[in-house]
Amino acid sequence: MARITPIDVIKGISGKYGSGSSDYFATNRSSNRIHLAKYLNKPAGPMTEAQVRQTQLFATQQKMAAAWLRANRPSTDNGDKGTEAYQTAQRIKRQLCLSNVRQVILKYMDTDGTVTLPDGSVTVTPSGGTTPNPSGGNEDNGSF
């Protein structure tokens, strides 16, 4: 099968294609793949209670992930490559071919905002504090 390399103009397209269209482009910059989707069943009316709860949960998770990233990213305090946990998250991101390290953080974050990376050696809280994981384990906190 032939491999097609998209040109830069096409790679830059992301989101809705045209004002009256229901076509959406999504570009994954790390894998260089472009996906086209058609939005057929647009929601009508206000959100349900379950949808409101899910939206609030998502917003809370995003805030906790942003706090974790601010505390661990490369800086003058954390060094040129960030903390050990940040470097581990970057390795996982590359290993799973994800486009953003935030995806790794959300994958391994529990409801309290504690990030436990799969090597089991470091548990990092959103405030940036680190504590050793007592199991020292090889467990994985879920599948991707």
| Pairwise pLDDT comparison (18 vs 102), residue with the higher score | 102
pTM, rounded to two decimals: 0.61
The helix (run of H) or strand (run of E) holding residue 28 is strand 23-28
Cα–Cα distances (Å) from 2 to 10, 37, 62, 67, in that order, read 18, 22, 39, 43
- Domain spans, the chain: 8-38, 56-132
pLDDT confidence tier of residue 15, bands split at 50, 70 and 90: confident
| Average pLDDT, integer, range 76-80 | 89
Choose among 78, 64, 57: nearest CA to 125: 64
Q: In this structure, is the dihedral angle defined by the CA atoms of residues 94, 96, 100 and 104, taken in order, positive or negative?
A: negative
| Average pLDDT, integer, range 20-47 | 80
Q: Of the segments 12-21, 71-80, 134-143, which one has the largest average pLDDT value?
A: 71-80
- Strand ranges inside 73-140, DSSP E: 115-116, 122-124, 130-132
The mean pLDDT value of the chain amounts to 78
Beta bridge partners of 130: 124
What are 104-130's pLDDT values in tens digits? 999 999 888 888 888 765 555 655 555
The residues near 66 (Cβ < 8 Å, ≥ 6 apart) are 102
Choose among 51, 30, 139, 33: nearest CA to 94: 30
pLDDT for the residue 125: 60
Choose among 64, 74, 79, 83: nearest CA to 122: 83
Cβ–Cβ < 8 Å for 88, 119? yes
Beta bridge partners of 35: 26
